[in-house]
Amino acid sequence: MELPCTQYSQEFRKESVKFFKESGLTLVEAAKRLSLTKEPR
């Protein structure tokens, strides 16, 4: 079963990229902290 594609606002995308660049985290860890994983919840 495939999960539906989620739409994110431009502001959320911008802030997510900023968070990733400034955090020093790996992309995977930043995505987990932002709840952007593709794993089922």
For tokens 């802030």, what's the residue? 15
What is the biggest distance separating any 2 CA atoms in the chain, rounded to whole angstroms? Answer: 35
The DSSP 8-state label assigned to residue 21 in this structure reads: H
pLDDT greater than 60 at residue 40: no
pLDDT greater than 90 at residue 2: no
Residue 24 near residue 39 (C-beta atoms within 8 A): no
**Token duo for residue 40:** 């089922």
User: What backbone torsions phi and psi does residue 26 show, to the nearest 5 degrees?
Assistant: -70, 160
How much of the chain, in percent, has pLDDT values that exceed 70?
Answer: 76
**Looking at this protein, which amino acid is placed at residue 12?**
F
Single pTM value for the model:
0.67
pLDDT greater than 70 at residue 3: no
Residue 30 near residue 37 (C-beta atoms within 8 A): no
